[in-house]
Amino acid sequence: MATEGTYYVPEQSKLPIFASFGLFLTVFGAANWINGSDNGPMMFMAGGFVMAVVLWNWFSTVIDENMNGLNSPQLKRSYVWGMGWFIFSEVMFFAAFFGALYYIRNFSLPWLAGEGDHSSMTPEVLWPGFEAHWPLMTTPDMAANGEAAKVLGPAQNMSGSTVENVWSWLPLWNTIVLMTSSVTVHFAHTAIKKDNRKGFNLWLGITVLLGFIFLGLQAEEYIVAYNDMGLTLESGAYGTTFFMLTGFHGAHVTMGTIMLLVMWLRSMLKGHFKSDDQFGFEAASWYWHFVDVVWVGLFIFVYVFG
Amino acid sequence: MLKQAKSCFAWLLGLSFTSQFALADDVKRWGVNMTQGVTDVSREIYGLHMDIFWWCVAIGVVVFGVMIYTMIAHRKANGAKAANFHESTTLEILWTVVPIIILVIMVIPATKTLIKVYDTSEPDLDVVVTGYQWKWKYEYLNQDVSFFSSLSTPQDEIYNRAPKGPNYLLEVDQELVIPTKQKVRFLITANDVIHAWWVPDLAVKKDAIPGFINESWTYVEEPGIYRGQCAELCGKDHGFMPIVVRAVPQAEFDAWMNKKREAAAAIAEAAKQTLTFDELYAQGEAVYQKHCAACHQADGKGIPPTFPAIAGSPIANGDMRAHIDRVLNGGQGMPPFGEQLTPVESAAVITFQRNAFGNNTGSELQPIDIVNFKQGL
Amino acid sequence: MAHGPAKGITRWLYTTNHKDIGSMYLWFSFLMFLLGGVFALVIRAELFEPGLQIVEPEFFNQMTTMHGLVMVFGAVMPAFVGLANWMVPMMIGAPDMALPRMNNWSFWILPFAFAMLASTLFMEGGAPNFGWTFYAPLSTTYAPPSVTFFIFAVHIMGASSIMGAINIIATILNMRAPGMTLMKMPLFVWTWLITAYLLIAVMPVLAGVVTMMLMDIHFGTSFFSAAGGGDPVLFQHVFWFFGHPEVYIMILPAFGVVSAIIPTFARKPLFGYASMVYATASIAFLSFIVWAHHMFTVGMPIAGELFFMYATMLIAVPTGVKVFNWVTTMFKGSMTFETPMLFSVAFVILFTIGGFSGLMLAIAPADFQYHDTYFVVAHFHYVLVPGAIFSITAGVYYWLPKWCGNMYDETMGKMHFWMAFIGLNLTFFPMHFAGLAGMPRRIPDYNMMFADWNMISSVGAFLFGAAQLLFLYNVIATIVSGKKATDRVWEGSHGLEWTVPSPAPYHTFSTPPEVK
Ligand code: HEA
Ligand code: HEA
Ligand code: CUA
Ligand SMILES: [Cu+2]
């Protein structure tokens, strides 16, 4: 590590080239796997392993540098900017899927049903009998082709619950769990700022636990959907948007939980983070808040007004 | 530098001068401008095109004029000394406002034309246009007339083994016929991928989206033949799915429709007849060369792996129903021919495939079998 | 200086130096330009005359697709990132990029991504053949199996772009030398700041749309299938929400390069600096609300049609401000016409012509006649080739002496320019005519009425290609054996990058420079 003058200039690093190779191997393996090639899974696994090792080393290096006081305030600010813009890119990724949901509900389904003055002939010629409702239980294919339809809608959907049994409505519990975890992670933050190590560990531990609970409930929801509700990725536009939105969110919760877990272990085992220096944790908690905000969007647009 | 600017300018001027001649038929080879077309809408669009073009030329003359002047006048080699100004709010406002004014002037007629194009109400005739890979199907709504229209240019012309005719790639086996002086509405959709139905002379270009109906319309005053092409990349033969529209007076149109209906009745009638094996084989061979050889090749060897061989094919030598199903309903990459071939033709081509190229099932098929198959029997 | 570059291949594999990484980006981009150019030459050779001569339609479509993809994602974008890597730290007085290791990662993903993309040419069923815009369902249900590799290649090159953009933003916002306020930054830095913002906003959307494709192809979802309630047009909306900002991603840094070069050779400060900044920001903003001008014929409701027409036309205003500013910068200057200036002046003229045809396309009813014809092909090559490519070329000539310490051969540079200029106009100007006369794009064969224009285009393309070989030779000759360049290099040059020696030291600034 070279620190020249007031400026920070890192030395060479083997990490990026291995990371590129690992990333390539992962996606190349995934593509082969999906296309049915026998060595796909192996390549995918190997790539994932390389990535894991590289990331482990990469983060260790960054942490070591920081612990050794090599990071200038300027570099620390760069990390802050980096994380902030990364989260912005994630926002845009979700925006694409929310956009798709919006478009399907507000444009393509009504048009398929002949609403709007420029598509009145669509159902008449192509999908006789189709009506636009959300959640979409009867796909255009079913309306037009009955038994012979290839794309079937779900038997049941996830939306709104009646007032009486709202407490047995899983999405509500998921919301409560995730909202709470956003609060607890905030408590952890205030704790570490006051140098309250015990409080930090406790609140962060609870947050991680809540993350796992959320994931468990989400898994349960999927199992019920597939086994009992006839709701799958293949059940038309409803299943498509439901699983893609909640699925990507779930993947992000998994990522976030792992990040927070690592932070918790670092604090528990190594005593990392100080009252004036805890960006690693902060970055993870920003990510967590972001995931939480996405969920609120999901809860409203996928479940409540579903 | 000077030369460069000049040549640019010359290009622009060239464009504007030559465009004057573009309308004359005899310079078709060096066509430089948009067609005026044969409808009200197409002429309005042509007008918009020329308006915006002249605005651009005018702005170009001013901007490039100043540039050329300064490049001549303010060269260091000519002893020019650099001034030092670098701001002028007046100028900045001026060249923000003037373009806005020009844009507003343009946008008004454009909006009017667009509203006109979008008014598909009260048609006299509805035609459902469906894009297939790589042909068009035309169906006169509620008139019991429908047919396919595909490229009729021979392979030999495409592969430079025969001289090309004047309508090379712009000719079809069956034209779309519409009446003149009638509002014809096109209900455009597709069966597989997105295509676009475009006839420049009518200024109609609309994407054919599978699963949705897009509407467009035309009102042709003069009888004539108007040619166009598919305008959305739709796979291998995107360049080979032309459109030909023949506009005829109403009386002629009615007569044509009647002939079409009679022909349809004749086909239904023909499906009841029984043919001999030799008749089937001979007719089948003709159908094969016309419709199938492009992919499966004249010798039945195909182009594996993309297009399987018919010679020795498990399907052409196996279960008859599977064979019928493949031909009528298609498969991965194999287009469905059920609506395009008459029952007689289908029966013939299947019989042919099962007995040609060394295939030797000895089986034959009658048109009525096809009719029954289609009805699920 | 404490240390210089490491020796051997590991210098490039393990580097964290912005100059090394910049050079790698630029060389990679040039390689991709040649590859994309070879694909273009296959297209032009087939279109030389009517009939099918050289390639089958199936392969022709693969060429069109790969040409577009390689040029856009492999040639133009990496070239600008390369220029940013080299110049942004030098221009703002920073020692390096903000996140140097991630910088190297961003670069090294690219060779892998493009190797994967190019390998599809050898796969069963062939390479992607659905156009660089890959409209569903041609790119989903009807696509060759290699589409899966295409999707993952897009994913990782997107990741590379996002990381690159984050790095550039962090550098610009965080690493400026004391005194380098935002409104003192050179325009190249400004345009890149805004471009990077666009990149971070839209590359994830591209990732989203290819993910939807992947799901539709392999996991039975119905995003783009009407039978299940989706819509093929949804694909186009999401794609163009990315795609339109993408075209400005390819031109805003070009504006920056030209805004650096013209004042130097006019020996006069840039006219209207502040309005240039605001114009760039307006273009970026507008670029998010015009996407459906690529979709005027898909059958949108008329309200959408009108909205997108108006918004698109508005872009002419801030772009016009830029053109007028450049012209006024030249006005009453003391001009010389070295190679970078030649390319820049040609940029202004020819880009404007491309902008004019863009404005024509924006008139929705007229676009019904232009859409998917060679008129569109003419439009976007005018903004991309004499636009993006010329500005990159100008930038390379302009900064090459600073990079390698040697002066390029001016005569050869001028020859390159004139060959490129003539070749390009021969290639792309006739396309306006062919398009207006009714020639659709993406076709391997056509009626004789388009034959003459196509023949001219094809000849021009080979001339333009030959010019690029001259460029390659000139650059290599300069690096190996050019005359020594001065530190200032150009008589009229201003800015921090000209205050350091030529070649610029491996670590430019070890302490913050003084900014006046
Ligand atoms: C660098 C890339 C770039 C740039 C800068 C632009 C700039 C513009 N483009 Fe272009 N465009 C593309 C790349 C680009 N485009 C590509 C790649 C495609 C095709 C994609 C595909 O389908 O494969 C495309 C397609 C495309 C279409 C769709 C056509 C179709 O498919 O039917 C349209 C339609 O509106 C359009 C419009 C515009 C406009 C209005 C501008 C404006 O920004 C131009 C503004 C500039 C000027 C107008 C000139 C200077 C201004 C003045 C001198 C001021 C005064 C002028 C007036 C008031 C007239 N473009
Ligand atoms: C920045 C982007 C960029 C650039 C620089 C170019 C550069 C060129 N483009 Fe392309 N083009 C696109 C972006 C670009 N293009 C896009 C996005 C499309 C749409 C794709 C689609 O429809 O999906 C397209 C489509 C497109 C088409 C339409 C294809 C079709 O619709 O079927 C054509 C046709 O002529 C064409 C030609 C050319 C030519 C001749 C060049 C030339 O400028 C290339 C010059 C370079 C070289 C020639 C290589 C250098 C030289 C050598 C390798 C040495 C050998 C050569 C000799 C000795 C002569 N391009
Ligand atoms: Cu059908 Cu192109
Ligand atoms: Cu655009």
Task: Tell me, yes or no, whether A65 and A76 share the same domain.
Answer: no
For B81-111, letters b (16+ CB in 10 Å) and e give: ebeeeeeeeebbeebbeebeebbeebbebbb
Domain-located, residue B266: no
Domain-located, residue B324: yes
Q: How far apart are CA C473 and CA C491, in angstroms?
A: 26
Show the beta-strand stretches assigned E in B181-241.
Answer: 183-190, 195-199, 204-208, 214-219, 224-230
Instruction: Name the stretches of chain A with pLDDT < 70.
Output: 1-10, 118, 160-164, 166
CATH for B301 = 1.10.760.10
User: Which protein residue has the closest C-alpha to ligand 1 atom 28?
Assistant: C294
Domain-located, residue C3: no
pLDDT on residue A5: 43
Domain-located, residue C55: yes
- Quick check: CB of C132 below 6 Å from ligand 2? yes
User: How many domains does chain C fold into?
Assistant: 1
pLDDT on residue A7: 54
Whether C411 shows a pLDDT value over 50: the answer reads yes
- Quick check: CB of C247 below 6 Å from ligand 1? yes
pLDDT on residue B305: 67
Task: Tell me, yes or no, whether A66 and A112 share the same domain.
Answer: no
Indicate whether this model's pTM tops 0.80.
yes
**Which ligand lies nearest to the CA atom of residue B210 in the structure?**
3
Of A71, A96, A117, the one marking the end of a domain is: A71
Domain-located, residue B264: no
Q: How far apart are CA B145 and CA B156, in angstroms?
A: 32
C484 is catalytic: no
Task: Tell me, yes or no, whether A237 and A203 share the same domain.
Answer: yes
Which of left, alpha, beta for A19 (phi over 0: left; psi -120 to 50: alpha)? Answer: alpha
User: Which protein residue has the closest C-alpha to ligand 1 atom 59?
Assistant: B56
User: How many domains does chain A fold into?
Assistant: 2
Partners of A108 on chain C (C-beta within 8 Å) are 226, 229-231, 233-234
Write out the two tokens for C330.
Answer: 């030249």
Domain-located, residue B316: yes
- Quick check: CB of C348 below 6 Å from ligand 1? no
Domain-located, residue C192: yes
Domain-located, residue C503: no
B344 burial via Cβ count (<10 Å: 0-12, 13-18, 19+) = buried
Write out the two tokens for C62.
Answer: 């693969």
Integer-rounded Cα Rg, in Å, for chain C is 22
Whole-number Cα distances in Å, B35 to B28, B226, C358: 11, 11, 20
pLDDT on residue B20: 40
User: How many domains does chain B fold into?
Assistant: 3
Could you tell me how far CA A265 lies from the centroid of its own chain?
22
Task: Tell me which residues of chain A, numbers 140 to 179, contact chain B at a CB-CB cutoff of 8 Å.
Answer: 140
The single residue listed with the structure tokens 């999707």 is C151
Average pLDDT in chain C? 95
Domain-located, residue B56: yes
Write out the two tokens for B49.
Answer: 């095109």
Domain-located, residue C47: yes
Contact between chains at B28 and C332 (C-beta distance less than 8 A): no
Contact between chains at C368 and B204 (C-beta distance less than 8 A): yes
Task: Tell me, yes or no, whether A222 and A115 share the same domain.
Answer: yes
All residues at 6 or more sequence positions from C461 whose CB lies less than 8 Å from its CB, including other chains: C40, C41, C44, C423, C427
Please give the average per-residue pLDDT across C9-25, as a whole number. 93
User: Which protein residue has the closest C-alpha to ligand 2 atom 13?
Assistant: C68
C160 is catalytic: yes
CATH for C384 = 1.20.210.10
C-alpha closest to that of B177 among B238, B241, B265, B260: B260
Pocket test for ligand 1, best of C296, C376, C432 (most atoms within 8 A of CB): C376
Contact between chains at A5 and C511 (C-beta distance less than 8 A): yes
Task: Tell me, yes or no, whether A27 and A114 share the same domain.
Answer: no
Task: Give chain A's length.
Answer: 306
Q: How far apart are CA B132 and CA B134, in angstroms?
A: 5
CATH for B176 = 2.60.40.420
Domain-located, residue A93: yes
Model pLDDT for residues C208-233, shown as the tens digit of each residue: 999 999 999 999 999 999 999 999 99
Task: Give chain C's length.
Answer: 516
Q: How far apart are CA A30 and CA A43, in angstroms?
A: 8
Of A71, A89, A110, the one marking the end of a domain is: A71
Domain-located, residue C2: no
Q: How far apart are CA A235 and CA C228, in angstroms?
A: 7
Contact between chains at A233 and C102 (C-beta distance less than 8 A): no
Cβ atoms of C283 and C248 within 8 Å: the answer is: yes
Task: Tell me, yes or no, whether A115 and A29 share the same domain.
Answer: no
All residues at 6 or more sequence positions from A12 whose CB lies less than 8 Å from its CB, including other chains: C6, C10, C11, C14, C15, C16
Task: Tell me which residues of chain A, numbers 20 to 49, contact chain C at a CB-CB cutoff of 8 Å.
Answer: 20-21, 23-24, 27-28, 30-31, 34-35
What tens-digit pLDDT sequence spans chain B (377 residues)? 444 444 544 454 454 444 444 433 443 556 789 999 999 999 999 999 999 999 999 999 999 999 999 999 999 988 888 888 888 999 999 999 999 999 999 999 999 999 999 999 899 999 999 999 889 999 999 888 989 999 999 989 999 999 998 999 999 999 999 999 999 999 999 999 999 999 999 999 999 999 999 999 999 999 999 999 999 999 999 999 999 999 999 999 999 999 999 888 888 888 788 888 888 898 999 899 888 887 788 888 887 766 788 888 888 888 888 889 889 888 766 878 888 888 888 989 999 999 888 888 888 888 888 888 877 76
Please give the average per-residue pLDDT across C27-55, as a whole number. 96
C-alpha closest to that of C185 among C103, C121, C270, C124: C270
Domain-located, residue A156: yes
Domain of B341 in residue numbering reads as 271-374
Task: Tell me, yes or no, whether B129 and B99 share the same domain.
Answer: no
Task: Tell me, yes or no, whether A17 and A32 share the same domain.
Answer: yes
Cβ atoms of C72 and C132 within 8 Å: the answer is: yes
Write out the two tokens for C272.
Answer: 């209207």
B83: three-class secondary structure by DSSP: coil
**Which ligand lies nearest to the CA atom of residue C368 in the structure?**
1
Task: Tell me, yes or no, whether A163 and A275 share the same domain.
Answer: yes
Q: How far apart are CA A128 and CA A112, in angstroms?
A: 10
Whole-number Cα distances in Å, C338 to A290, B178, C352: 52, 62, 21
C343: three-class secondary structure by DSSP: helix
The conformation of residue B312, written as its DSSP 8-state character, comes to: T
Task: Tell me, yes or no, whether A21 and A103 share the same domain.
Answer: no
Partners of C452 on chain B (C-beta within 8 Å) are 29-30
The single residue listed with the structure tokens 């020329």 is B50
Q: How far is A154 from chain B (nearest CA, A)?
A: 20
| Residue A119 contacts B where some CB pair is shorter than 8 Å | yes
Half-sphere exposure of B52 (CA within 13 A, CB side): 28
Instruction: Give the ipTM of the model, two decimals please.
Output: 0.92
Domain-located, residue B111: yes
CATH for A262 = 1.20.120.80
- Residues, Cβ < 5 Å to ion ligand 4: C 244
Write out the two tokens for A148.
Answer: 């012979």
Task: Tell me, yes or no, whether B194 and B216 share the same domain.
Answer: yes
Distance C454 CA to ligand 2 centre (A): 14
Interface size B-C, in CB pairs within 8 Å, comes to: 308
**Which ligand lies nearest to the CA atom of residue B240 in the structure?**
3
Task: Tell me, yes or no, whether A27 and A124 share the same domain.
Answer: no
Domain of A245 in residue numbering reads as 72-304
What is the atom index within ligand 3 of the atom nearest the CA of B239?
2
Of A24, A41, A71, the one marking the end of a domain is: A71
Domain of C277 in residue numbering reads as 17-498
Domain-located, residue C8: no
Q: How far apart are CA C75 and CA C245, in angstroms?
A: 17
C-alpha closest to that of C39 among C67, C70, C71, C69: C67
pLDDT on residue B13: 45
For C88-100, letters b (16+ CB in 10 Å) and e give: bbbbbbbbbbbbb
Domain-located, residue C221: yes
